[in-house]
């Protein structure tokens, strides 16, 4: 059995010594050796590990990124089977094919394994059929699996985005009872995310369960609107390859519009590209919209009048400024 660190946030066998930075784990005062029998010892104890594994990030992994940059956390909200994971997998496939998010292109990810795990199902298969990613398991975790994207524009400006791929059951518990033990992950998303996309499942809204679907969408929306402030909120009509009636759409929209949201928009998306690729374009456009709205939320640097514009040391605020 491999050893472990006595610090709960250090995972030396995955990402190296986080606390002391030891290259030789057995020298670290916090490292507890596992099975000490000789054949169970790792072949090489001394090597530097990179501080990420490529898998979806957890909360302590997030520190590695947030220490140097402020990533945009995008909360992907919606009940189970609303199409959230498929949307994320489609986004990754589109970027992998060179599609852009506004002026930004894919420039890296700390969670390539995590993306590939969900995107593999959508990738080309022999029989030509689309397969969907497996159900996101409703484990007992309180923080969703986090997927990372780094984007860059032609001026070299970088944006880091983090997406929450959470089990829909969390939102089901959350809409029924905010304090439910099983809703802690959804609450984490609500507390921490910079922007939200709420998924309205067109397949369910077109069928016999549309009453239930409307209720679910409206109640998750209501929860998200509590303390939303100026955080952007996008409604995603997922699985838009299935048509729904204008009346159904209008009923959901009118419920949302009862709230005075600073930034609201709707997007029709699907794993199928749609006419002229519109559904796929909307997947990328939804991210671009979030980036633009968050940029517009930033304070504008005040113009300071100065005695001598070209000399920064002679600048001073004007009396009226």
Write out the binding residues for ligand GDP, residues 67-86 only, by CB under 6 A.
78, 80-86
Smallest gap from residue 168 Cβ to Mg ion (A): 6
- Give the chain's end-to-end CA distance (angstroms, integer): 67
Per rule CB under 6 A, is residue 242 in the interface with ligand GDP? yes
Q: Which of 17, 203, 216, 228 touches ligand GDP (CB under 6 A)?
A: 203
| 4-5 and 31-32 strand pairing | antiparallel
Nearest to 221 by CA among 14, 77, 62: 77
Per rule CB under 6 A, is residue 271 in the interface with ligand GDP? yes
User: By rule CB under 6 A, what count of residues binds ligand GDP?
Assistant: 19
Bridge partners (DSSP) of residue 152 are 105, 158
Helix ranges, 111-260 (H): 112-119, 168-176, 184-192, 202-206, 210-225, 246-257
Question: Which of ligand GDP, Mg ion, none is residue 81 near (CB under 5 to 8 Å by kind)?
Answer: ligand GDP
- List phi, psi (to 5°) of 106: -60, 130
With CB atoms as reference, the residue minimizing the distance to Mg ion is 136
What track of x and - describes contact with ligand GDP for positions 142 through 171 (by CB under 6 A)? --------------------------x---
- When the beta carbons of 107 and 248 are compared against ligand GDP, the nearer one is 248
As a whole number of angstroms, the distance between CA 186 and CA 38 comes to: 45
Per rule CB under 6 A, is residue 132 in the interface with ligand GDP? yes
Instruction: State the residues that interact with ligand GDP by CB under 6 A.
Output: 78, 80-86, 132-133, 135-136, 168, 203, 239, 241-242, 270-271
């Amino acid at each position: 059995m491999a050893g472990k660190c006595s610090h709960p946030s250090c995972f030396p066998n995955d990402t190296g010594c986080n606390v002391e930075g030891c290259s030789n784990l057995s020298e670290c005062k916090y490292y507890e050796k596992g099975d000490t029998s000789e054949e169970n010892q790792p072949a090489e104890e001394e090597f530097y590990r990179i501080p990420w594994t490529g898998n979806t990030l957890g909360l302590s992994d997030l520190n590695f990124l947030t220490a140097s940059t402020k990533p945009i956390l995008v909360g992907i909200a919606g009940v189970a089977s609303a199409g959230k994971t498929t949307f994320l997998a489609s986004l990754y496939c589109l970027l992998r094919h060179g599609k852009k998010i506004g002026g930004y292109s894919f420039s890296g990810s700390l969670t390539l394994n995590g993306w590939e795990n969900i995107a593999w199902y959508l990738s080309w298969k022999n029989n030509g059929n689309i397969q969907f990613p497996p159900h996101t398991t409703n484990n007992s975790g309180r923080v969703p699996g986090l997927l990372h994207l780094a984007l860059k524009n032609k001026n070299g400006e970088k944006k880091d985005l983090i997406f929450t791929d959470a089990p829909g059951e969390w939102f089901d518990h959350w809409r029924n009872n905010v304090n439910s033990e099983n809703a802690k992950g959804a609450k984490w998303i609500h507390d921490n995310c910079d922007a939200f996309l709420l998924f309205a499942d067109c397949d369910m809204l077109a069928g016999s369960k549309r009453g239930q679907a409307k209720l679910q969408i409206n109640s998750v929306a209501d929860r998200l609107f509590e303390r939303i402030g100026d955080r952007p909120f996008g409604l995603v009509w997922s699985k838009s390859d299935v048509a729904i009636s204008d009346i159904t759409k209008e009923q959901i929209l009118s419920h949302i519009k009862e709230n005075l949201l600073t930034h609201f928009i709707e997007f029709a998306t699907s794993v199928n590209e749609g006419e002229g690729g519109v559904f796929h374009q909307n997947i990328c456009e939804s991210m671009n919209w979030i980036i633009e709205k968050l940029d517009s939320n930033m304070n504008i640097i005040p113009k300071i009048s100065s005695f001598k514009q070209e000399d920064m040391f002679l600048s001073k605020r004007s009396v009226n400024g």
